[in-house]
Amino acid sequence: MKYSLVLASLLAASSLFAAQQVQPQVQTVDTATLQQTNDELVQVKKELSKVRNEIQNVHDKAVDDAYEQVLKENKKLTITVVGQGVAPMNTTSPAQAYALAKRAAIADGYRAIAEKLKGVRVEGQDTIKNMMVQKSTVRTQVEALVKYANVVETAFKEGLCEVEMEIVISHADFAQ
Amino acid sequence: MRSRDGNSNLSRRLCSVVLFYSLALDASEYLISYRYVVKDAILYNDTLQISKSMKKCQGIVHSDALILDINDSKDLNKIVSENEQEFTSYIHKLGMHINYSDITQNLQNHSTAVLTLKTTCFKVDFNDNFVKIAPLQ
């Protein structure tokens, strides 16, 4: 009993001593790591906000790409199209073939501009007999007046002429 | 009425009128229409009609005029045919009416595009070395 009391007092004293010695050490370690973790946290937060911004930008761009551009007031909109034309077989010279193909390509370019600006009328008709398609017809029609369209680039290769055309439109052009 | 210092005022006026009219005499008005047809991406037919206007046209001269070089010729048909590329590209810029139709029957496609410049009055000024062509709006 006497020994046990001595042992207990020794243990208590040693634990007290140990606590006195260890406690300040633990406290110093904690503040250092806390500071470090705080810095890291701030950095991570910054990076997270950067990534969020990037994701938002990508999302906005995707949304812009998905929807067609809309003509707004006091803003101009440039529409670019490519028209294709073929030279006839019975041309007398390559120059004539080029000239004729270019004119056909310009007509196609005008058609493409009209399609974009005014729209296309589409009509379809299918004839089905005995569960089989007998005849399938699709008609499209475009009618418009196109002014101030410009030919930007012309390329002629192997009888095919491609013209890049553009038209700048503003809100005032359509105002009534 | 005879003035005191001779007829100088009257003669000056007369000269200026004669000079003005002699400059304006070569300005005339022409009616021009153009139409071309493209079938299946191949130019099929084009028609350019030019005729002198028989009565005076109404309207304001377009600011953007076409200037073509000439060699003492006053025949607009000849001048335009010699500079066809320039003239047609100028006409295109003024505005063309497009009528396009397309038919796909049993997966075979045929298309027809008709581009038209409706009859428009143009003011044509003939000069020594060039001609100035501008539409009236």
> Under an 8 A CB cutoff, do A144 and B105 touch?
no
> Which residues span the domain enclosing A31?
1-67
Residue in B closest to A106 by C-alpha: B92
- Alpha carbon separation from B25 to A86, B16, B125 (Å, rounded): 45, 14, 9
Residues of chain A contacting B85 with CB distance shorter than 8 Å: 99
User: How does residue B22 score in pLDDT terms, banded at 50, 70 and 90?
Assistant: very low
Count of structural domains, chain A: 2
| pLDDT value at residue B84 | 87
Q: What pLDDT score does B23 carry?
A: 47
Same domain, A89 and A56: no
Q: B104 and A138 in contact by Cβ < 8 A?
A: yes
**Within this chain, do residues A39 and A83 fall inside the same structural domain, yes or no?**
no
Task: Give the three-state DSSP class for A87.
Answer: coil
Domain end marker among A25, A41, A67:
A67
pLDDT at B100: 96
CA distance B48 to A38: 81
Same domain, A49 and A85: no
DSSP annotation of B136 reads: B
Chain-chain contact of B100 with A111 (C-beta, under 8 angstroms): yes
Which range, A13-17, A139-143, B57-61, B125-129, has the best average confidence (pLDDT)? A139-143
Give the pLDDT confidence score for residue A27 in this predicted structure: 55
Last residue of a domain, one of A67, A88, A107: A67
Q: Tell me the pLDDT tens digit for each residue of A106-120.
A: 999 999 999 999 999
CB under 8 Å to A97, separation ≥6 — which residues?
Answer: A87, A88, A91, A159
Domain boundaries, chain B: 26-135
In this structure, the answer to whether residues A31 and A118 fall within a common structural domain is no
Among B45, B102, B108, B120, the strongest candidate for a mutation testing the A interface, having the largest count of A CBs within 10 A, is: B102
Q: Do A116 and A57 share a domain, yes or no?
A: no
- Of the listed ranges A2-11, A109-118, A130-139, the least confidently predicted one is A2-11
**What are the chain A neighbours of B108 within 8 Å (beta carbons)?**
none
Which residues does residue B35 pair with via DSSP β-bridges, in sequence order?
Answer: B47, B116
By CB atoms closer than 10 A (0-12, 13-18, 19+), residue A82 is: middle
Q: Which of A46, A67, A88 is the last residue of a domain?
A: A67
Contact B100 A151 (CB under 8 A): no
Is the domain of A16 the same as that of A92? no
